[in-house]
Amino acid sequence: MKISIGCDHAGYQYKDMIKAALQAKGHELTDHGTNGPDSVDYPDFAHPLATAVEEGNSELGILICGSGNGVCMTANKHAGIRAALCWTVELGQLARQHNNANVLCLPARFIDEKLALEIVEAFLSTPFEGGRHANRVQKIGC
């Protein structure tokens, strides 16, 4: 699967860890940065990732910042993006299953690395259920 990943300074360690785990499973990753602890502006990384998913260059995206809120709000400004802030495995599953989310947002300061990987796995492996949810998802866009 082609996946884009990006973060701000609060999420770069999680990004590197998730990226390595996904590459080991054979996924193709596009890294939109950042790559260190120096303070950066999260929109500078969230917008290019959202564009990559919107344009079909990546099937799904993963964004990480301290709370997950900033990258989620930024990504959701893109018409073709359904970004979901998830801090439990069940939320990761439901974001895909019921909302057909195409970008997962993680709060690095509120979950540990093990849980982050579990959420990513749940998000990537859960298909959209469609059915009664399809009509709702079609109504999300403005």
Residues marked as catalytic: 65, 98
Report the SS3 class of residue 83: strand
Q: What is the DSSP string of 53-64?
A: HHTTSSSEEEEE
Report the number of secondary-structure helices (H) and strands (E) in the chain. 6, 5
CA 85 → CA 38, 50, 90, 104, distances in Å? 24, 14, 12, 6
